[in-house]
């Protein structure tokens, strides 16, 4: 019975240590371009991949006053190497 409990504890510990590799990577800003009125910006950034998905390039349109945060997801355009598919 103790061996069974120890085995379960090892499995749970192993699986919980693997979860960070399934989290998406950080957003890294590549370039920003201002709108003609200079009140909005288009930000091109790379979103890091993880164990199950590759890196992707994304674009977000945001007010000039807000900056890109590390958990940003593109709200305008996303492209990755998913067999040439563009979303």
Q: Give a yes or no: residue 66 inside a domain.
A: yes
Residue 30 pLDDT > 80: yes
Q: For 3, phi and psi rounded to 5 degrees?
A: -60, -40
Average pLDDT (53-60) is 84
What range defines the domain where residue 40 resides? 24-80
CA atoms within 13 A on the CB side of 29: 12
In the prediction, which pLDDT does 68 show? 86
Average pLDDT (35-60) is 86
Q: For 44, phi and psi rounded to 5 degrees?
A: -90, 130
In the prediction, which pLDDT does 7 show? 67
Which percentage of the chain shows pLDDT scores above 90? 26
Total domains in the fold of the chain: 1
pTM (2 d.p.): 0.63
Residue-wise over 11-46: b if at least 16 C-beta within 10 A, else e? eeeeeeeeeeeeebeebeeeeeeeeeeeeebebbbe
Residues belonging to the chain: 87
In the prediction, which pLDDT does 64 show? 94
């Amino acid at each position: 019975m103790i061996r069974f409990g120890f085995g379960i504890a090892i499995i749970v510990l192993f699986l919980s240590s693997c979860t960070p590799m399934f989290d998406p990577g950080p957003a890294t800003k590549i370039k920003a371009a201002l709108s003609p009125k200079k009140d909005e910006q288009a930000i091109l950034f790379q979103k890091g991949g993880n164990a199950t998905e590759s890196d992707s390039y994304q674009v977000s349109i945001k007010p000039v006053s807000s900056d890109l945060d590390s958990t940003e997801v593109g709200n305008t355009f996303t492209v990755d190497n998913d067999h040439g598919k563009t979303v």
